[in-house]
Chains A and B, each alone.
Chain A
Amino acid sequence: MKLWPVWLACAGSAVAEPSGQHHGRQIYQKLCVECHGANGEGNDEEFVDPLYGEKSVEALARRIHRTMPEDEEHLCVDDDAAAVAAYIHQAFYSPQARAGLNPPRRDLVRLTAPQFKQSVADVVGRFMGGHGRLLPEKRGLSFKASGLHEDSAGKNKFTNVKRHQFERSGEDLTFNVREMIGEEPITTRSDITVNLSGSILAEETGSYEFVVRSANGFRLRVNQDHSQLAVLDRWVASGKDIREAGVRVELVGGRPYALHFETVVSPKDQHATTEVLWKTPHGALERIPKRFLYSVWSPPVAVVTTSFPADDASYGYERGSGISKDWLLAVNRGAIEAADFVEANLNRLAKTKAGAKDRDRKVREFLGRFVEAALRRPLDSDEQKSFLEGPINRADGVIPALRPVVVRALTSPEFLYPELPQGEGGESRETAARLALVLWDSVPDEALAKAAAKRQLDSPQAIERQARRMLDDPRARLKVRGFFHHWLEMDRAEDVSKDHERFPGFDEQLMADLRISLELFLDEIVWSESSDFRQLLLADYLMLNPRLAKVYGEQPTQGGFQKVAFDSRKRTGVITHPYLLATLAYHDNTSPIHRGVFLTRNIVGQQLKPPPEATAFKDADFDPTMTMREKVSELTRDKSCMACHSTINPLGFSLEHYDAIGRWRAKDGGRAIDASSDFLPETGDRIRLRGARDVAEFAASSPIAHRAFVRQMFHHLVKHGMASYGRDADEHLYRRFRDSDFNIRELCVAIAKVAALGSGDSSSAQHPADATKSLHANTQ
């Protein structure tokens, strides 16, 4: 509550003092209450509508001054009108006030499709040793070669050579056996057996294609252990040519998967290159880059491959707000897939082995803990009967009851509706469940569940500690990455294509490279220590590989992706990233309107109404000698258009220096680019924009932009309306963000805390300085 006046100040009011409000209330009671009601609810008899709206205090004051009370307008003017406006605005008129009076309820939601898949992987994964452990910094698979060599006495000896794969090879998963072996004495007398093993990190959920090019026989295992038939087995090579073989594997993002490649190389092929390539869900086929590879092993992950109906995205973020028959069928199929996995990996999950005397007991114990992990709580004795003993008796044994128990747990409402109240004493577990959802889209891991069981999640500090720990996990990165995909509307890029004549060489491969470039740029900033939101807008570099450098760079580069600095007028953060610029453009030309709308809504943080009528831009309608800016100005000159386009156009024109694939250009059709305009923000003075950097600097320092960013991040992570977390949530989070120097990770922690506590009540807010301190302590 104590933050409330500050919100008014930010909204541009200077009259939000308690005494003024008192004065305003008195006048309202005297002159207004009869028609408008005590809380502005209106009056059916007098046909007075409720007094709710979104006008500013000043606008309300002007209107009261002019029109109220009806027929006796002179009774309330000037300062009195301002006082009444200030009072009603904070008491019931504004959305924030209404949220406080009658907070919107938080709907019951189900797991979204990604949450279902993540949760299944983690409920099962909790019982797989090695699941969810932190990955080492060092990248690259481990490499082992073995073969014969002749010792000094002329006898054959067996030799092993072990290496970290990238000690000798390049930046990606490609190698030449002789180079890897180097001077080690494996001679050319015998076949050389090569093993590459470790883990590969899947950053996204979806279908991954793995392709191997090799002259030799090979096996590739992904998300499998050695006892399983390799997903790609070409151990037997008929013929002598370099062969290529591929396979698709479904992976749930945000976690590492076991990767094992083995091949036998004949001496004559030891100089030949073997390549292992992949195509990620949004990528192009490429050699697997080093940054995804780790030498540590990972246990198999239970991947649900069933496709689900799309989640409701009508709120502007995906939400589990409705159910359907298709959804229920998908849930059933997903649960059955999980049961298949549990059956196949039972001994490892239950920590037993074939033929063990106590196998049934171990499996029963496992099943009990499995159900508890799925339900996110312990079972009481009745539930033990219902979930375990009943099925075991009906199936006449523990092993035969496996499928029904697993499927029941994963189709139970408590698994599917993760925020159901857990009853008395369950508050800690509810907190844990919400934290896991917000940061991981999943269920609590062992550590979080333990903390909840010991009631160690009752203080905001404890929650914050857990949130920080969880934020270091790849699942949290996946979730935050998902936010950026949404914020930057990266889905639009799915089918971008460009005019081949104008932009030769702009193909799927280049677009895939650009996507990686943008992801790397985001990772670089978000996961750096300062994690500074403003750098997303202001950084003057791009991540380029040689292919991209040829198109976008000023000079060629070598190797993999690297930072390439630009003149700070030419590149400024995400808004001049070619991936976005190419997406927000026509196939043969720029589109200042698309770019302007994007900047207005997502970057500057202003609302736009839908256009009054649909108008299509048709290039052929214009004189071909006109610049794009002139065409757009012409098209939107109508007054009804300019209500919004007076905002959209200046922002869009500021990016006219970037062509339809995002290259810097000085001219449009032979005429010099004019990227300058005057821009009138929602609040504040008219400013002169001379180009992209001015837009970036404006947004980087604009509270409206900051608040919009906070709100969008909140919705993405929490998947509930912010208003349902109390009228303070908005303000509290904004201040946390601002006071942490716009630290994005801090924002995520703060959001997780608000969501976990169920409210943004400032009493739970920690002093920001403490937060920053503990962050530093944590990262050192």
Chain B
Amino acid sequence: MKYYDRRNFLRDLGVSAALAPFVGGLPSLLGKDSGAAPAKQRLIVMFSPNGTIPEEFWPEISEDSLSFKRILEPLEDFRDRTLALRGIANKIRGDGDGHMRGMSCLLTGTELLPGNIQGGGNTPAGWAGGISIDQELKNRLQKNEVTRTRFGSIEFGVAVPNRADPWTRMCYAGADKPLAPISDPEQMLAKLYGDAKDKETLLGIVDGVKDDIGRVARKLSSEDREMLDQHLTLVREMEVELSQAGQKELIHPVPEIDPAVELVNDNTPELSRMQIDLLVSAMANDMTRIGTLQFMRSVGQARMHWLDVQEGHHGLSHEPDGNKDSREKLIRINRWFAGELAYLVRRLHDTPEPGADGSMLDHTLVIWLNELGKGNSHTLNDIPFLMIGGAPGIRMGRSLDFAQTPKHEGKAKQGNKRNFVAHNRLWLTVAEAMGQPLDSFGNADLCAGGALDLG
């Protein structure tokens, strides 16, 4: 995988005491006791590509408990906050290869438009033909003053290559309107806290500029000095205004970003953590209630040297089940993604919910998903959907299988005759949990049966 040349970003952000005065003692600021505002509900969708290793991913099916296998072990601390959802399929057909539909129909639940992009099979296609669930919910939340936020939704990327095609985009503002995730933490920092960052820079140099003006002015005639005196006055005014501005209530400090980390493949672990810190920070400061976090892309070839994996991810995912070495590596890779998810969840868990009881995790529904069920079969069945966190109507701490074969059909047929439910129905459930119930989303035929009952 190749990234564009890394810009370095600065460290001296968020260090200012003025910017981050309110880490503790928050609730009073947001009027907890006003009682009018309903509790916030957030949604985070985390994507990782190229399928999973089902045997090491899926917990034993159980209605009241959960035990993790190797891939999900990093989430052990949050076992009772986790819900595994087996038996769900992306049933969208039509133009485009499996990866394209896997990716671009994942959150849209609708077919791809006919187009000019030829994948590894099937007919060529264009962008998705409809809006993605995150954007649908964003639009609804933004319509209401109570749930409206500065951004509505923020699309984070980690190591998403700089190209726009149906394999790299899962969020859509509408048919034919893909949204690009931001993979550069510095760019994201600028988007979220740009003003603060620039302010820090300007305040940091103002003494130097004042000295320069004084030094230069001494050499001038009195007439010319007048202009520089005026300049100095303006600089001083600016300084006062800048240091007074922006002392308003930032609930959560601006994350500290290590400027030395370049945007290259081998720095992905650090970049991932930066992006997660920024995502949690943006949510803590209520800039958005919807976030997506996209690792790489469908068919991504990330070389995860930090896991001692030299091969590209997608290449590995094509290896047959019998290739033990590849299988081990793929387990390592997926376990790493679970670890990143665990970091995200821990950050949410460790941050008190602003203006309410409990932690942010209690009010955030995190969904981890993939464009495929399994890499070497390219199946869109049994996509590894995993929920963590809290949302009304969703009971965690379980492992469900929606495609379980009725017992009387016998064990022998299991695996061949599973009756998968369409993932469109999962999005109806999520919409309901977000307080925005929908009758139908994406392909209406696939919504038959309505929202899945996760209560």
B220: chain A residues at CB < 8 Å are: 108, 420-421
- List the B residue with the shortest CB-CB distance to A106: B224
* A611 lies within 8 A of chain B by Cβ: no
- List the B residue with the shortest CB-CB distance to A399: B8
On whether A108 and B227 interact (CB within 8 A), knowing A229-B162, A266-B116, A404-B204, the answer reads: yes
* A680 lies within 8 A of chain B by Cβ: no
* A354 lies within 8 A of chain B by Cβ: yes
Q: Using a CB-CB cutoff of 8 Å, which residues 104-138 of chain B contact chain A? A: 113-117, 125-127, 129
Q: State whether A403 touches B201 (Cβ < 8 A).
A: yes
Q: State whether A237 touches B205 (Cβ < 8 A).
A: no
A237 to B165, CA, bound (A): 10
Q: State whether B219 touches A236 (Cβ < 8 A).
A: no
* B38 lies within 8 A of chain A by Cβ: no
Q: State whether A408 touches B117 (Cβ < 8 A).
A: no
- List the B residue with the shortest CB-CB distance to A336: B198
* B7 lies within 8 A of chain A by Cβ: yes
- List the A residue with the shortest CB-CB distance to B175: A238
A266 to B126, CA, bound (A): 15
* B212 lies within 8 A of chain A by Cβ: yes
Shortest Cβ distance from B209 into chain A, in angstroms?
6
Q: State whether B11 touches A395 (Cβ < 8 A).
A: yes
* Cβ-defined partner of A413 (8 Å) among B10, B213, B221, B264: B213
Q: State whether B114 touches A235 (Cβ < 8 A).
A: no
Count of residues in B whose CB is under 8 Å from the partner chain: 58
Q: Using a CB-CB cutoff of 8 Å, which residues 746-779 of chain A contact chain B? A: none
* Cβ-defined partner of A236 (8 Å) among B12, B115, B129: B115
**Per-position contact with B for A210-228: 1 when CB-CB < 8 Å, else 0?**
0000001100000000011
On whether A238 and B8 interact (CB within 8 A), knowing A229-B162, A408-B209, the answer reads: no
* A343 lies within 8 A of chain B by Cβ: yes
Q: State whether A400 touches B224 (Cβ < 8 A).
A: no
On whether A396 and B223 interact (CB within 8 A), knowing A228-B4, A235-B165, A236-B115, the answer reads: no
Q: State whether B234 touches A325 (Cβ < 8 A).
A: yes
A483 to B69, CA, bound (A): 76
A194: chain B residues at CB < 8 Å are: none
Q: State whether B12 touches A229 (Cβ < 8 A).
A: no
A351 to B136, CA, bound (A): 46
Q: Which of A383-391, A471-479, A697-705 contacts B (4 or more CB under 8 A)?
A: A383-391
Q: State whether B208 touches A238 (Cβ < 8 A).
A: no
* Cβ-defined partner of B127 (8 Å) among A238, A336, A417: A238
* A397 lies within 8 A of chain B by Cβ: yes
B178: chain A residues at CB < 8 Å are: 236
**Per-position contact with B for A653-669: 1 when CB-CB < 8 Å, else 0?**
00000000000000000
**Per-position contact with B for A389-421: 1 when CB-CB < 8 Å, else 0?**
011001111011011100110011110010011
A286: chain B residues at CB < 8 Å are: none
* B230 lies within 8 A of chain A by Cβ: yes
Shortest Cβ distance from A634 into chain B, in angstroms?
51
* A30 lies within 8 A of chain B by Cβ: no
* B179 lies within 8 A of chain A by Cβ: no
On whether A386 and B211 interact (CB within 8 A), knowing A402-B8, A421-B219, the answer reads: yes
* B445 lies within 8 A of chain A by Cβ: no
Q: State whether B8 touches A237 (Cβ < 8 A).
A: no
- List the A residue with the shortest CB-CB distance to B204: A404
* B353 lies within 8 A of chain A by Cβ: no
* A239 lies within 8 A of chain B by Cβ: yes
A423: chain B residues at CB < 8 Å are: 219
A173 to B87, CA, bound (A): 54
- List the A residue with the shortest CB-CB distance to B219: A421
- List the B residue with the shortest CB-CB distance to A386: B208
**Per-position contact with B for A347-363: 1 when CB-CB < 8 Å, else 0?**
11000011100000000
Interface centre among A107, A228, A236, A344 (most CB of B within 10 A): A236
Q: State whether B205 touches A404 (Cβ < 8 A).
A: yes
Q: State whether A236 touches B212 (Cβ < 8 A).
A: no
Q: State whether A239 touches B115 (Cβ < 8 A).
A: yes
B231: chain A residues at CB < 8 Å are: 323, 328, 413
Shortest Cβ distance from A598 into chain B, in angstroms?
35
**Per-position contact with B for A371-390: 1 when CB-CB < 8 Å, else 0?**
00000000000000011001
- List the B residue with the shortest CB-CB distance to A227: B4
Q: State whether A339 touches B213 (Cβ < 8 A).
A: no
B259: chain A residues at CB < 8 Å are: 397, 399-400
A322 to B234, CA, bound (A): 12
Shortest Cβ distance from A406 into chain B, in angstroms?
9
Shortest Cβ distance from A721 into chain B, in angstroms?
15
- List the B residue with the shortest CB-CB distance to A333: B198
B219: chain A residues at CB < 8 Å are: 420-421, 423
**Per-position contact with A for B1-25: 1 when CB-CB < 8 Å, else 0?**
0001111111110000000000000
Q: State whether A347 touches B227 (Cβ < 8 A).
A: no
Shortest Cβ distance from A404 into chain B, in angstroms?
5
B7: chain A residues at CB < 8 Å are: 343-344, 346
Q: State whether A229 touches B262 (Cβ < 8 A).
A: no
**Per-position contact with A for B182-220: 1 when CB-CB < 8 Å, else 0?**
000010001000000010011011001101110011011
B205: chain A residues at CB < 8 Å are: 391, 404, 407-408, 411
* B237 lies within 8 A of chain A by Cβ: yes
* A233 lies within 8 A of chain B by Cβ: yes
Q: State whether B116 touches A237 (Cβ < 8 A).
A: yes
A324 to B11, CA, bound (A): 32
Q: List 18 A-B contacts (CB under 8 A).
A: A108-B223, A228-B4, A228-B162, A235-B163, A237-B117, A238-B115, A238-B176, A325-B237, A328-B235, A332-B198, A355-B262, A391-B208, A395-B11, A399-B260, A400-B259, A403-B10, A412-B209, A420-B216
Known interface pairs A323-B234, A397-B259, A423-B219; 7 further A-B residue pairs with C-beta atoms within 8 A, sorted by A's residue number:
A228-B4, A235-B163, A239-B126, A343-B7, A348-B5, A400-B12, A417-B227
